[in-house]
Amino acid sequence: MSDRRHFLKLLGTAAACGGLAGLSPAMATAPAARFASHRPPRAQRKFTSDAVEREIARVRACIGDPKLAWMFENCYPNTLDTTVELGTLEGKPDTFVITGDIDAMWLRDSSAQVSPYVALAKNDPALRRLFRGLIRRQAHCIRIDPYANAFLRDPHAPPLSWARQDETAMAPGVGERKWEIDSLCWPIRIAHAYWQATGDAEPFDGGWRAAMQRVLATFHEQQRLHGPGPYHFQRTSPRPSDTVPLEGYGNPTRPNGMIHSMFRPSDDACLYPLFVPANLFAVVALRQLAVMSQAIHHDAAFATACTSLAREVEQAAHRDGRLRDEAGDYWAYEIDGYGNRLFMDDANIPSLLGLPYLGCCAADDPTYRRTRKRAWSSDNPYFFKGTAAEGIGGPHEGLRMIWPMSIVMRALTSDDPGEIRQCLRWLRDTDAGTGFMHETFDQDDPAHFTRAWFAWANSLFGELMVKLADERPALLRQP
């Protein structure tokens, strides 16, 4: 579709968001070429969905700021346009989703990347096929190794270049083997969301059930109530956050019922192995798994085992995972069970900022509100404030580097229109003219950024814009 035809189509669909008032004067007069689509030509897209294309037109017509509208059109379908590979696996549909500029599939990223499309799957056979394939592929990966975070499409390919000398038990098909609790939670989250949205139980076959048994067993192993368990990991690297101390088993802990994690969702090593946000995420995921197991497979025993573990982890996290000051309780980021607690936050999800997004608490929960305020302040050593924006980063890309995902997450967890609009301004003005989200950008210079092709961040931004179009259309209409 030409830029002019596309622009006219937007004018025609703007009525869904209040007529032409949904478009700013700048958008009504600016040359369409100024914001020409940066999507690949249709013939070069990895995957197309009529439902997604309709959603792009609907939401874009609701966005009063022309640059934000352009960025939404680029970002929202980026996962489908560029990262999805369809095929067959064991004679059934298969979907392999790379992260973007890294040719491997992370269990976390692949789940988060497709999350914005779940609501559209019920009425789109192509999307249902995509989700069925991804759910099966993720279950296949978990059966290969529940401790791995990244996998390769070719089971005979060597690990990712930086992981080939790692001292750990690498299985064929594994790209990297960093044990992160959330790697097993995200596939449950997307499977549950898909099942809730469609009622489709087709992908939850014997292979998926076997994978879920591995999830439960791995979580039990990493409670470390009877020893450290089988996982260890070491890497020769100039970055200390790339390896795990004490022969690869992590810093000492006093087991308390929580699950140990050697790495954070940033792929950086934990300082204290009892990582609070991921444990709270595991509680949610285990309860979702219990509901599915009971409803789909009528497996009461497995459902009970999942809810029992969720209760153990939740009680331990609430008992030991908090700090307190004169204002009240707030969540720690990591603890060791001996009384040592680390407060910080990292932009990658699960994070303290993102707890309501994952269903771990309500957005107005008092403990969360106190935690959120601290995370978005100088109390967090990885909160950065510069002339371009303010936001949360993390050790993965170093000081001064803000992750756009943190700004998106602040907006997703906010009920303050002014705060949301400020987040949209920062997101709009820090893309360095590319029309996409990046992994990070310098707090004073958005032209200094990492990862031009990072699909998770693009999907999350698209998810925010859809949410605002549905829940706050008047805010989104304002230029």
pLDDT tens string 381-432: 999 999 999 999 999 999 999 999 999 999 999 999 999 999 999 999 999 9
Cα–Cα distance between 415 and 368 in angstroms, integer?
14
Query: Span 220-238, mean pLDDT?
Result: 97
Q: Per-residue pLDDT for 220 more than 90? A: yes
For residues 243 and 232, the answer to whether their CB atoms sit within 8 Å is: no
Query: Span 371-384, mean pLDDT?
Result: 98
Q: Per-residue pLDDT for 114 more than 50? A: yes
Helix axes 125-144, 182-198, angle to 10 degrees: 150
CA dihedral 214, 290, 134, 145 (to 10 degrees): -10
Q: How confident is the model at residue 33 (pLDDT cuts 50, 70, 90)?
A: low
DSSP state of 100: B
Which pLDDT score is estimated for 479? Answer: 83
Which pLDDT score is estimated for 17? Answer: 62
Q: What are phi and psi of 434, to 5 degrees?
A: -85, -25
Cα–Cα distance between 191 and 203 in angstroms, integer?
9
Residue 51: strand pairing partners: none
Query: What pTM was computed for the model?
Result: 0.93
Q: Per-residue pLDDT for 10 more than 90? A: no
Q: Give the full edge-to-edge strand order of the sheet including 334-335.
A: 274-275, 334-335, 341-342
DSSP state of 159: P
CA dihedral 458, 466, 376, 359 (to 10 degrees): -100
Which pLDDT score is estimated for 4? Answer: 38
Q: How confident is the model at residue 16 (pLDDT cuts 50, 70, 90)?
A: very low
264-273 b/e (C-beta count within 10 Å ≥ 16 → b): bbbbbbbbbb
Cα–Cα distance between 301 and 309 in angstroms, integer?
13
Q: Per-residue pLDDT for 25 more than 90? A: no
DSSP state of 333: S
Q: What is the pLDDT of residues 167-177, one digit of tens each?
A: 999 999 999 99
Which pLDDT score is estimated for 34? Answer: 79
Strands 322-325 and 341-342: unpaired
Query: Span 116-134, mean pLDDT?
Result: 98
Q: How confident is the model at residue 31 (pLDDT cuts 50, 70, 90)?
A: very low
Cα–Cα distance between 306 and 290 in angstroms, integer?
6
Q: Per-residue pLDDT for 1 more than 80? A: no
Q: Per-residue pLDDT for 282 more than 80? A: yes
Cα–Cα distance between 52 and 58 in angstroms, integer?
10
Cα–Cα distance between 254 and 277 in angstroms, integer?
18
160-199 b/e (C-beta count within 10 Å ≥ 16 → b): beebeebebebeebbbbbbbbbbbbbbbbbbbbbbbebbe
Which pLDDT score is estimated for 15? Answer: 44
Mean per-residue pLDDT of the chain: 94
Q: What are phi and psi of 329, to 5 degrees?
A: -75, 150
Which is nearest to 442 in space by CA: 456, 434, 432? 432
Alpha helix (H) residue ranges in 321-454? 366-375, 404-412, 417-429
Which pLDDT score is estimated for 223? Answer: 98
Which pLDDT score is estimated for 13? Answer: 42
Please give the full DSSP string across 24-51, using - where no structure is assigned: -HHHHHS-GGGG---SPPGGG-S---HH
Which is nearest to 353 in space by CA: 375, 321, 377? 375
